A and B are shown apart, each in its own frame.
Chain A
Amino acid sequence: MRDSDPVAAFAAEVGPPAAGAVVAVGGRTQWDVGGRPDPEAGAREVGAPAGVVALEAADMTVTVLAGTPVAAVDDALAGVGQAVALPAPPGATVGGILAVGRSGLLRLGWGPVRDAVLRVRYVSAEGHVVTAGGPTVKNVSGFDLCRLLVGSLGTLGLLAEVTLRTRPLPATERWLTAEADPFYLVRALHRPLSVLWDGVTTWVLLAGHPGDVAAEAAAHGLVDAPGPPPLPPHRWSLRPGELRGLASPPPGGVPGRFVAEVGVGVVHADVPPPPRSVEPAVAGLHHRIKDLFDPTGRLAPGRHPWAA
């Protein structure tokens, strides 16, 4: 078939419920989040198509197929001085980043990844292509299924194509460091893109007009750093105000090495976080949503964003 619509082809590959369990595969950079697919279910692996569909520089939007690597989207946008506000670990796809829903180290400046999404086209458990949201940078037409799908780990639908807002590349971007109070810096600096702290050293990423960045660096005794520090493997989610207690011994603090995202609340630590649960009413909503969106349980069996 010539000029076939890649989204329709992906829907055909997913097929109707009779085609059995499926799990979407991106770059496998966060494969274990929410649990591995249940081997007993024998889910068939499917991959969303890749490619940039439309780059609307003057609208600051870009539409891409979900299998496109984030880095490839940024490469395509670099020519018009823009980028997307998604983390781009090597090999990660747009669909994978959104399905997992975890933001990167620059969430303080960019906002959470869920806010970058304007429209999604996904393949439903019935094998239909469903559109949610709209192509414009502002839209309140109907229920916000985009937010529901971000972080749903492919359990409610398989992302096929997404429209993202883009951001202008700043004139300059500098990682800086100092042995300074990160809780003071996060308030004193104007909208830093990132403030990281390991209990002793603080790293910040400043962006904008070179004169402003230089002035802020000088005012706070910040010196250039090669980049952010290496991150311990586990991820905790705290309130920003709870981070002050991190360096104290448990239970207030996190044992071992840590790098905290100040102003955000994510803590990268040597030890895994304690298990979390949701209130019974919220668990009930989760189960009803799953049952209505995927009545036969064919999408990513074994994965549970609400039980992670």
Chain B
Amino acid sequence: MSRTTPAAPAGTAALAADLAAALAPDRVRTGGVELALYGRDASVLSGEAALACFPLTTDEVAAAVRVARAHGRPFVARGSGTGLAGGAVPVGDPVVIVTTKMDRILSVDAEDRVAWVQPGVVNLDLTRALAPLGLRFSPDPSSQQACTIGGNVANNSGGPHCLADGVTSAHVLAVEVVLPDGTVTVLGGLDAEPPGLDLRGAFVGSEGTLGIATRIAVRLVPEPPAVATLLADFATVEAAAETVSGVIAAGILPAALEMMDQRITRAAEDFVHAGYPTDAAAVLLVEVDGLPAGVADAVDRIDGVARAHGARDVRVAADDAERALLWKGRKSAFGAVARVAPNYYLHDTVVPRTRLVEVLAEVYAIAERHGLGVMNVFHAGDGNLHPLLLFDAREPGAMARVHAAGDEIARVSIAAGGVLSGEHGIGLEKRDLMPLLFGPADLDAQARLREAFDPDGVANPTKVLPAGSRCGDLQSVPEGLWV
């Protein structure tokens, strides 16, 4: 790495000393190679982290927030840094509050079907801990081996299995938070109808701009008694996309409905050997669950819809091992891309399911116009597109072409009645595209919510809302932040 450590802002030593006194000296960092890691997340943006701390408890998070404020510094909370929109990238010399050491599952109540967890618990670790009880936490982002529940709350994360059950917001009952003034409180509750406004709902997905989650009560759902996983292969992308609409229109709401185009199917097959048909233009991975008769009926009907739309073959996984293998190919798809191109940019927009065919055609055309390779692997069931734009960052001008293509894909998606992000969030990356989706009065209302929680703008400043959302003067993401 050629990155040089920048000079820390004035006052950093005194700030570090106060944080060390509040936490512990070995859980405050002000330099070294490690700190460079906290300057970026999994997006194509990066900033500078001059200081990071690693609290273990709610009180330590609150103390870190109060110390930051006493020194006139903002703060940014950070989990594993798997975010794809620059939400955890430090801007404005913040104290980086890393929650990964807060990784305990505090309680699991199988009767109430709720678990309290610390924000640094890794999504997959929670799933594994719940498996013996026959319960699960439904959101399963592709990064689930690394991403944390705190990050899932910040970004309102999704995943393939959110089609029937909804994204993170639908699975969070209560959040203990440290507010930007250092106060600790609980939003939401475990009872059926907590009094007052749904501040829990407002907090989930706020990308660290309303405070820091320090304990999270997640809703647990039972594993279904029967599951079937189907793989349908198609000679055209259009036929696959029309099958998606056909399945939904037939009144079937699968547990998951994923699509992979030929390039990503080949890459995943080379990587995992899941038995994917590499000559198919597109494959659909469909999962249905429930009770046996309902599952069998849904499998028959999905098979019928797929064949009616020209599926060449529909294969039903014979056992759990085959199911797991089919999913392994899907979940490893992003890793497989590394074998094809040195860098990729993973986009995230949503379009109405009925517009998938035309928007996909536009995505291919946009990538071609900008001289970029593109692969598509996405949550087709809810219209959540994830084009991967392939590039080589060492090639001059490559990043500019990626940005231009990404912008166009966002515009095309919104023009088709879609939205800017389905599950990755806005962060810095899409902040300046927000006016494509929202007018001045809309952004102003969102800025009011933010102001109510954080009147001084110290919690993860500059994220989500374009500057001037409260009064009209828009500014761009500073040039130096793009990689």
Interface residues of A (CB under 8 A from B): 56-61, 81-82, 101-102, 107, 111, 114-115, 124, 126, 128-132, 134-148, 150-152, 156-157, 167-169, 183, 187, 190-191, 208-212, 215-216, 235, 237-242, 261, 263-266, 276-279, 281-282, 285-286, 288-289, 292-293, 305-306, 308
Contacts and interface: CB of A to CB of B under 8 A. Distances in A.
Contact of A289 (B245, B291, B294, B449): B449
A176 B206 CA distance: 42
B452 A131 contact: no
A34 B194 CA distance: 13
Contact of A139 (B193, B251, B253, B422): B422
B186 A216 contact: no
B459 interface: no
A53 to B, nearest CB: 13
Contact of A138 (B291, B423, B445): B423
B61 to A, nearest CB: 15
B290 A140 contact: no
Given A136-B351, A212-B293, 5 more contacts: A126-B441, A130-B442, A136-B418, A157-B445, A237-B194
A186 to B, nearest CB: 9
A138 B354 CA distance: 14
Nearest to A308: B195
A300 B442 CA distance: 21
B206 A143 contact: yes
Contact of A239 (B183, B190, B204): B190
Nearest to A265: B192
Nearest to A288: B452
A148 B201 contact: yes
A59 B248 contact: yes
A208 B191 contact: no
B195 A131 contact: no
Contacts of A152: 197
Contact of B452 (A132, A215, A289): A289
A141 B187 contact: no
Contact of B197 (A235, A277, A305): A305
A24 B158 CA distance: 35
A306 B113 contact: no
Contacts of B443: 142
Interface in B376-403: 379, 382-384
Contacts of A277: 195
| Among all A-B residue pairs, the 7 with the closest Cβ atoms | A147-B201, A265-B192, A212-B291, A211-B293, A209-B294, A306-B196, A281-B185
A144 B464 contact: no
A168 B252 CA distance: 7
Contacts of A266: 192-193
A129 B430 CA distance: 24
A38 B158 CA distance: 43
A268 to B, nearest CB: 11
Contacts of B455: 288
Interface size class of B (residues with CB under 8 A): 35 or more
Given A144-B202, A144-B205, A285-B452, A306 B417 contact: no
A140 to B, nearest CB: 5
A210 to B, nearest CB: 8
Given A60-B248, A212-B292, A216-B291, A140 B422 contact: yes
Interface string B164-195: 00110110000000010001111100111111
A136 B355 CA distance: 11
24 contacts: A59-B383, A128-B441, A131-B438, A138-B162, A138-B350, A140-B421, A141-B420, A141-B434, A142-B426, A142-B437, A143-B446, A150-B201, A168-B252, A190-B291, A212-B293, A215-B291, A238-B191, A239-B192, A264-B192, A265-B192, A266-B193, A285-B199, A288-B453, A308-B196
B156 A140 contact: yes
Contacts of B249: 57-58
Contacts of A130: 441-442, 445
Contacts of A210: 293
B312 interface: no
Contact of A265 (B156, B170, B191, B205): B191
Contacts of B251: 81-82, 168-169
A82 B253 CA distance: 11
A143 B450 contact: yes
A128 B438 CA distance: 14
B407 to A, nearest CB: 15
B222 interface: yes
Contact of B464 (A124, A129, A142): A142
B295 to A, nearest CB: 8
A210 B179 CA distance: 50
Nearest to A278: B196
B419 A145 contact: no
A289 B424 CA distance: 26
B423 A187 contact: no
A261 B191 CA distance: 12
Nearest to A293: B448
A292 B452 contact: yes
Which of A81, A139, A212 has the most chain B CB within a 10 Å cutoff?
A: A139
Given A137-B383, A142-B438, A239-B112, A167 B253 contact: yes
A187 B290 CA distance: 14
A12 B464 CA distance: 31
Nearest to A107: B192
